[in-house]
Structure 1
Amino acid sequence: MARWIPETLHEHFRFSFKTNNVLYESHTEHQHLIIFENDTFGRVLMLDGVVQLTEEDEFVYHEMMAHPPLMAQPEPKRVLIIGGGDGGVLREVLRHPSVERAVLCEIDQSVIDLSRRYLDFIAQGAFDDPRAEVVIADGTKFVAETDERFDAILVDSTDPIGPAIALFTREFYSSCKRALNEGGVLIAQSGLPFLQGDELRDVQKSFRALFADAAAYMMTTPTYIGGPMALSWGCDDPARRMPERERLKARVDQIKGEMKYYTPDVHLAAFALPAYVARYVHG
């Protein structure tokens, strides 16, 4: 008999995935984790009852988390990923030939281990790339203490529940800014504005206090139900966010493999916000 696995992203809104095969389920040291198969979306990873990725549409989030900030840099060399234990953002970062070092800081070793065991199609060998380094640590502590400086910091977090709560504070974002090189970009997952507008508003309030250029951009991932998802952008160089289309195209042409979502036009259009989203961004 099929099992229906629910996601309750919002107290007034629930949907479910049908599965005939649960590959793994447990409570880790930090959170509830389940990996299962769905006939439409393939393998699915959920943490604390919220979908993190599916096999069929993971490319949307991972490409949009990684490429807009890296395309903003002339030659990004050092990148820090907070969270992202599945390896998808790391995979996309390492597609940039200029990247010399990519540090992934994940609090939960089991997310990495289980992703490598059951979801190896996500990282596609990224964990074994000599440019990659994995640090098992609290991301807030890592950025507060590191002496390294990065061209981009990508906060690939869950929503602000459980261990991720600390990744949504002004103190954490301030530490991230300290760890950026001049002109570096900070990106933070900021929820679905239609259902989680307060989350985007709070992140943007912190970014506006810290950066000369604070903005948000959007993407549509089918399994993130409830409208398009927002990512917050922070940088002290306003010119970085909207490069010329031809420059973006030239950079895309340098990347190995085919893009499934990101294009120069998508980059530029993603920052055009619906009015209801813009109200959260501009306060």
Structure 2
Amino acid sequence: MTDGAAPRTGKGRWVVESLYEKEGFTCAFRADRVLYEEETGQQHLVIFENGLFGRMMTLDGITQVTERDEFIYHEMMTHVPILAHGAAKRVLIVGGGDGGILREVVRHESVEHVTMVEIDPAVTDFCKAQLPRISAGAFDDPRLDLVFADGAKFVEETPASYDVVIVDSTDPIGPGEVLFREEFYRAAKARLTPGGVIVTQNGVPFMQGDELAATMEKFRRLFKVASCYLATIPTYVGGPMAMGWGTDDETLKSISLEELEKRFEKAGLVTRYYTPEVHKAAFALPRYVQGYVNP
């Protein structure tokens, strides 16, 4: 775990968030207790406890998930596409080793099958042991097919099709870089059923505008609707996070509030961030974000 220039105190070791270090910005989290630290062969994984955010996981010095605010990301990455689709039976999760996306997907009783593809089994094993509240038993759901493989290779080779594809990737560095290539997006689109939708993790536009712009450029070549929606997650610093949105169904983004409310009620979900009103509002983009989506 990289401490950088952060101080050590009697209360614990300070862990520097390194994502924007080259750009001249960092923040730090106090590791009151390090629970696990290892070079997995794929990534440098650390799980530690912080007094404010609870248990946290970093990969290669970049915050991935915290117990305190994970619900925001996982609810918005999951319920927005599934409820917008309205009839999703088969869902593919690429990445998501902590199990949070999976937890939210299996809360939809209408979903009949979930395939989750994670490149690093160590991430899933550690999260099940050290962050069990995030998956909340979802790995035991009988609808799950858990595959340990390269996500890009999987979508190229599988003959299966899915109504919703959720790409819960790391940032486009290291093992996650391949999940931002046009070849991957094209293969993922080929796995979508008619009317299907893909959602991607696209960083914080204020800090990572080039990342969102690059994905949107590829989506515009592949999908009739290439856009994103936003959610504010405290530990992903620098502003709201963008979730990429790609589909050939032009109606999904404009589902009425009344219809979303009906679907939400029918699903019987109890959420902490997502509401049908938040769903609609998330697609209202600030001008600077619109510039990355449609330059």
TM range (shorter): over 0.9
**Alpha-carbon deviations, 1:102-158, whole Å to 9, x = none?**
010000000100000000100111100000110000000000011000000000000
Q: Deviations over 1:147-183 (max 9, x none)?
A: 0000000000000010011000000000000000000
Residues 153-164 of structure 1 mapped to structure 2, 5 A cutoff: 153-164=165-176
SS of structure 2 residue aligned to 1:140? helix
TM-score, scaled to structure 2: 0.94
Q: Deviations over 1:221-249 (max 9, x none)?
A: 01111111001100001101121111111
Kindly provide the CA deviation profile for residues 50-92 of structure 1, in whole angstroms up to 9, marking residues without a partner as x.
1111001000000010011101222110000000010000111
Letter in 2 for 1:6: V
Residue in structure 2 matched with residue 3 of structure 1 by the alignment: 13
| C-alpha distance after superposition, 1:185-231 (max 9, x if no partner) | 01111111011000000000000100001111000001111111001
Gaps of 5+ in 2: 1-9
* Equivalent position of 1:73 in the other structure: 85
Matching residue's letter, 1:3? R
- Equivalent in the alignment of 2:111: 99
Question: In the alignment, does 2:63 pair up with 1:48?
Answer: no
Question: Which residue pairs with 2:154 in the alignment?
Answer: 142
Partner residue, 2:249: 237
Whole-Å separation in 1 of the counterparts to 2:273 and 2:144? 24
CA–CA separation in structure 1 for the residues paired with 2:273 and 2:31 = 27
Task: Look up the match of 1:27.
Answer: 39
1:215 to 221, 227, 231: 227
Q: Secondary structure at the match of 1:204?
A: helix
1:178-197 equivalence runs, <5 A: 178-197=190-209
Superposed CA RMSD in Å reads 0.8
Using the TM superposition, name which of 159-168 and 65-74 deviates more. 65-74
Partner of 1:36: 48
CA distance in 2, matches of 1:41, 1:190: 22
Q: Does the aligned pair in 2 maintain the 1:97–1:254 contact within 8 Å?
A: no
- The corresponding residue for 2:238 is 226
Aligned residues: 283
Q: Which amino acid aligns with 1:140?
A: A
Give the deviation of 1:256 after TM superposition.
4.2
Distance (whole Å) between structure 2 residues aligned to residue 135 and residue 206 of structure 1: 27
Secondary structure at the aligned position of 1:115 is classed as: helix
Q: Check conservation: 2:86, 2:263, Cα contact below 8 A.
A: no
TM-score (norm 1): 0.98
Are the counterparts in 2 of residues 82 and 104 from structure 1 also a CA contact under 8 Å?
Answer: yes
Could you tell me which residue of structure 1 aligns to residue 26 of structure 2? 14
Query: What is residue 283 of structure 2 aligned with on the other side?
Result: 271
C-alpha displacement at 1:258, in angstroms?
1.7
SS in 2 for 1:25: strand
**Segment of structure 1 superposing worse, 173-182 or 10-19:** 10-19
Give 5+ residue unaligned stretches, structure 1: none
CA–CA distance in 2 between the matches of 1:163 and 1:45? 16
State the 4+ residue runs in structure 1 displaced beyond 2 angstroms: 254-257
Identical columns (%): 52
In structure 2, the residue corresponding to 1:79 is in which secondary structure? strand
Residue 263 (structure 2) aligned to one of 251, 270, 273: 251
2:7 paired residue number: none
**Matched position secondary structure for 2:64:** strand
> 2:29, 2:151 → 1: CA distance?
31
